[in-house]
Amino acid sequence: MSRLKISCILTFILLHFLFVKVLGQTYDNCANHDKIFIRVEQPPQYNGSLQDYFENELKTNTGEYEGTVQISVIIDSSGSPCCIRIQNNNSFISSKKFKEVIDKMTGWTSAKQNNHVVVYNAFIQLEFKGSKFNVRYINDKFPPLMPVINTNTSNHPEISEDKQTGIIWKLWDFNNSMIPSNLSRSISMDIKGAIWYCTDGGVIRIANENWKIYSGMNVPELAGKNNRTWTIGLNTDKSGNVWIQSFDYIVKFDGKKWVRFDSTNSPLKLVNKIYVDKNGEVWFCTFKGLIKYNGQNWTTYSTSNSELVSDNVHGIYSDNKGTVWVATGKGIDKFTNGHWTHLNNTNSKIPYDDITCINGDSHGNIWAGAGARNNMSSLVKIDSAGYISLYQHGTIWNITIDERADKIWLATNGEGLLSFDGTNFAQYDKSNSIIPSNTVSDVLIDENGDKWLSTFGGLIFTNIK
């Protein structure tokens, strides 16, 4: 283990010893947060001098002091501080006073991780000696996050085979292959049959069992700080281009040249998902609306310039009749020849307005996942006559159509991989396969009808039909 890693671990242990094990005075008036960071790429910064601020606020408390005060402060995503814990070994100034001083602070910037604002637990220490004290912001300068390098040079996947049925499962992960990260959210296949697999550490191109890794280490357009890579979505178009979402920007690769699109040269911002329609046009589902790119021009649909019901767009599908079906946070929108129609839980049988994904089959059926919260979700089927059928299931992240077998395959958060033939569901998860995580994020069906799965625990191949 490197000295840097040892140093990080020791610092982590020290912080938790000081601020968790030794509780001191704890406060419960801060908002509850699902995820709190103590180490990020960009910690919160105070606009000014912490030393000057505390000296000004404590200047009326004069005297000869001796001791240490350790303060745990939550800096939320808006930059607002809230004191949650104080260990006060200084008997001259009360913990109540320190909390008042912390909670009324202004001028903090929020922390950032992977270019997204996050909630951060800052640790501040005041050391008193005589009539003076020194203020330290303990975790504002952790060693910088560096790329995690997989040193494997070959692939030896875990393989499971049922001799009776001939069903094969293969798992590639960080330990047995060249995969740069186990966590993946998207997978696609280009016009030449090569598979593209995006991970939190880079993108893999797989062709005839040959792997090529693209990351911030060899492609500057994919890089974040310190050449780190965080690819969270991709798709391929009919011209052979690969579109990759890396951090907060989109990167296009035509096989030779990498081009980055961001807010400086496109309307793209906060992209959710990338979709390619039957005409080869590329659609970007964003938190700021729906954006279409035809190779030359950008077209934006939002609540401000169209009848789109919500700017929070999770997915789209363009059917054979030219109707665009849009999955949003407030239901499903249909867009046909300039006319918009809305379906939600008040004007239809759709049970939840939060639509996670959408797709369609060759029979004219539309399939959607509805309900992302509290594990209350349904698979929604809208047939060609507009009749809606519901099937209760866990959160559905992606729907893939298997035209050969006349099935649909569901990538779910918590139920693994599901298939549905119109009558029966089949489930494949950790209990009956080598799927490493019950979170399956995407499903690709290749030219042979075999399945490739992106999961939170590695890449899966199976020939199950």
The helix or strand, by DSSP H or E, that contains position 245, with its residue range, turns out to be strand 242-246
Q: Which residues contact 83 (CB under 8 A, 6 or more apart)?
A: 27, 30, 71, 72, 73, 74, 98, 99, 102, 103
In a domain, 347, yes or no: yes
- Looking at the fold, whether 82 and 111 belong to one and the same domain comes out as yes
Domain that holds residue 12: 3-137
Integer-rounded Cα Rg, in Å, for the chain is 26
- Looking at the fold, whether 186 and 305 belong to one and the same domain comes out as yes
**H helix intervals, 87-175:** 95-103
In a domain, 63, yes or no: yes
Tokens representing 80?
Answer: 């607002």
In a domain, 268, yes or no: yes
In a domain, 151, yes or no: no
pLDDT in tens, the chain (465 residues): 444 444 444 444 444 444 444 446 788 788 767 678 888 888 999 999 999 999 998 876 656 667 899 999 999 988 999 999 999 887 678 889 999 999 999 999 999 876 678 899 999 999 988 778 899 999 988 777 778 899 999 999 999 999 999 999 999 999 999 999 999 999 999 999 999 999 999 999 999 999 999 999 999 999 987 788 989 999 999 999 999 999 889 999 999 999 999 889 999 988 999 999 999 999 999 999 999 999 999 999 999 999 999 999 999 999 999 999 999 999 999 999 889 999 999 999 999 999 999 999 999 999 999 986 555 789 999 999 999 999 988 889 999 999 999 999 999 988 999 999 999 999 999 999 999 989 999 999 999 999 999 999 999 999 999
Secondary structure letter of residue 201 according to DSSP: T
In a domain, 301, yes or no: yes
Q: Round to whole Å and give the CA distance between 222 and 260.
A: 8
Q: What is the pLDDT of residue 100?
A: 93
Which amino acid does the sequence have at 63? G
Other beta carbons within 10 Å of 344: 18
Q: Round to whole Å and give the CA distance between 388 and 268.
A: 33
Query: Last residue of some domain: 107, 137, 167?
Result: 137
Structural domain total, the chain = 2
Secondary structure letter of residue 373 according to DSSP: S
> What would the pLDDT profile of 259-300 be if each residue is shown by its tens digit?
999 889 999 988 999 999 999 999 999 999 999 999 999 999
Q: What is the pLDDT of residue 62?
A: 53
Q: Round to whole Å and give the CA distance between 208 and 124.
A: 55
- Looking at the fold, whether 165 and 133 belong to one and the same domain comes out as no
In a domain, 149, yes or no: no
- Looking at the fold, whether 191 and 118 belong to one and the same domain comes out as no
Q: How far is CA 175 from CA 148, 179, 274, 435, 441, in A?
A: 13, 8, 30, 15, 20
Q: What is the pLDDT of residue 24?
A: 63
In a domain, 353, yes or no: yes
- Looking at the fold, whether 170 and 126 belong to one and the same domain comes out as no
- Looking at the fold, whether 239 and 388 belong to one and the same domain comes out as yes
96 three-class SS: helix
Q: What is the pLDDT of residue 36?
A: 84
The answer to whether 309 and 303 have CB atoms below 8 angstroms apart is yes
- Report helix, strand and coil shares of the chain as percent, to nearest 5: 10, 45, 45
- Looking at the fold, whether 32 and 133 belong to one and the same domain comes out as yes
- Looking at the fold, whether 344 and 391 belong to one and the same domain comes out as yes
- Looking at the fold, whether 196 and 87 belong to one and the same domain comes out as no
In a domain, 33, yes or no: yes
In this structure, what CATH number is given to the domain that contains residue 319? 2.130.10.10
- Looking at the fold, whether 286 and 325 belong to one and the same domain comes out as yes
Q: Round to whole Å and give the CA distance between 302 and 263.
A: 16
- Looking at the fold, whether 240 and 311 belong to one and the same domain comes out as yes
Q: What is this structure's pTM?
A: 0.75
- The structure tokens 């060899």 sit at 218
Q: What is the pLDDT of residue 195?
A: 98
- Looking at the fold, whether 268 and 132 belong to one and the same domain comes out as no
